Amino acid sequence: MARKIDGAIEKAYELARERYAALGVDTDKAIRVLARVPVSMHCWQGDDVGGFENAGGTLGDGLAVTGNYLGKARTAEQLRGDFEKAISLIPGKHRFNVHACYAEMGGKRVDRDALGPDQFKNWIAWAKGLGIGMDFNQTYFSHPKMDRGWSLTHPDRKIRKFWIEHGIRCREIGAAIGKALGQVCVTNLWLPDGMKDTPADRRSPRERLAESLDAIFAKKIDKKYNLDSVEPKLFGIGAESYTAGSHEFYMGYAVSRGTLLTLDAGHFHPTEGIGDKISSVLCFLPEIVLHVSRGVRWDSDHVVTLTDELNSIAQEIVWGGYLDRVHIGLDYFDASINRIAAWVIGTRNMVKALLMALLAPIKCLKAAELEGDYTSRLALMEDMKVMPAGAVWDYYCAKKGVPVGAAWLDEVKKYEADVLSKR
């Protein structure tokens, strides 16, 4: 969108451009690259992971949302409207990530093992209208057949079969999405299956999980339309002692079966970051998925803020040259603040971190490192922290026709007064 850019923003940008040019960094190019990087925004921030399958369903199975802020989306139309508001405040073109429990039943009851593209036709038509891509997820929670919080690892073959069918149906839905939108859909599989206390048998559930996954992924689906990914986790609420789908489990699975692997920033030990893991797993996998989140003491899924950890994730993607091999997605849910603001803050921060990584004099940094000049590397990295990236960010927002600075907040407040508070 061509817009007239405010004089002060333009002036600040010109000065910033000169400063960066002196370091050999082309800010115009950074902006051009940034504009092509989509972030997959998660539908579940908009309604506290509720979904629409059976209105009023309760969340459980290892996931918890706290807070009771007004105006949560209660219908798919409301969620779509809220998301449209959010993306009008975020620079760039992003994607929408839907969970299977956001199926629209159209009056008839369809269980998870029988879902099809029909239950997602409104989502697909809407995304097509907006010209955005969509991603998808199997939903292994909030369902009576999540018996003891177990799905694909369940000792009962019939229950496993039900969840295997769900897994297959979702891959088919993913392919239908990809085909309809003309952009590949990533279908991500996470399940909470685990145990609260020390298991007597760690082996059998994992062997059953591998077998169930093989049954789900047996059907070949064109990778042009759907890509499968699996998401490991160290622990969950109620599964503190054992999670069948651990890191080693899924790393081995993804490498041996050729699926993608999803790294969620909240799924490791609290002192571990996922930045360092990106180049490790990409030595062995063609592509990965990220669930960028922010854990506070545990996998609490706080709104993504501009932390060192976020910068490190963005740097690893950009500096490693992995922009075309990493599917960047968000995964958090905070119901204690305006949910649209939560989307806007987290996504803008993700984009901002990518911009900052693109603005680094990475050639100089790598050259200094190669020569063993770690002094210069450190000095330069520290200096970068106060370079005028904010001026480039403001200019980028203005250029893309979205509010500059915190001006987006006025629009969210207005939407809250006009729409959310009336729900």
**Site residues for ligand RNT, window 128-147 (CB under 6 A)?**
137
Residue selected from 53, 193, 264, 334 as contacting ligand RNT according to rule CB under 6 A? 264
> CA neighbours within 13 Å on the CB side: how many for 348?
26
Write down the catalytic residue from 44, 123, 190, 343.
Answer: 190
Distance CA 322, CA 282 (A): 9
> By C-beta, is 169 or 399 nearer to ligand RNT?
169
CB 43 within 8 A of CB 103: no
Q: Is 334 tagged catalytic?
A: no
> By C-beta, is 17 or 42 nearer to Zn ion?
42
Q: Is 111 tagged catalytic?
A: no
- 408 sits near ligand RNT (criterion: CB under 6 A): no
> By C-beta, is 266 or 388 nearer to ligand RNT?
266
Pick from 93, 317, 314, 292: which is nearest to 183 by CA? Answer: 93
Q: Dmax of the chain from CA atoms?
A: 68
> By C-beta, is 30 or 251 nearer to ligand RNT?
251
Residue selected from 135, 231, 316, 394 as contacting ligand RNT according to rule CB under 6 A? 231
Write down the catalytic residue from 61, 193, 331, 416.
Answer: 331
- 44 sits near ligand RNT (criterion: CB under 6 A): yes
Angle at CA of residue 248, ends 206 and 255, nearest 5°: 100
> 373: Cβ–Cβ under 8 A, 6 or more apart, which residues?
none
Which string of x and - marks every residue 335-364 that binds ligand RNT (by CB under 6 A)? ------------------------------
> 287: Cβ–Cβ under 8 A, 6 or more apart, which residues?
227, 260, 325, 326, 327
Q: Closest residue to ligand RNT, Cβ-based?
A: 190
- Minimum Å distance from CB 329 to ligand RNT? 9
Task: Give the C-alpha distances (Å, rounded to integers) separating 361 from 23, 41, 119, 357.
Answer: 6, 29, 48, 9
- Minimum Å distance from CB 301 to ligand RNT? 7
Enumerate the β-bridge partners of residue 230: 189, 261
Q: Which active-site residues does the annotation give?
A: 190, 231, 233, 264, 267, 291, 299, 301, 331
Chain positions contacting Zn ion, by CB under 5 A: 264, 291, 331
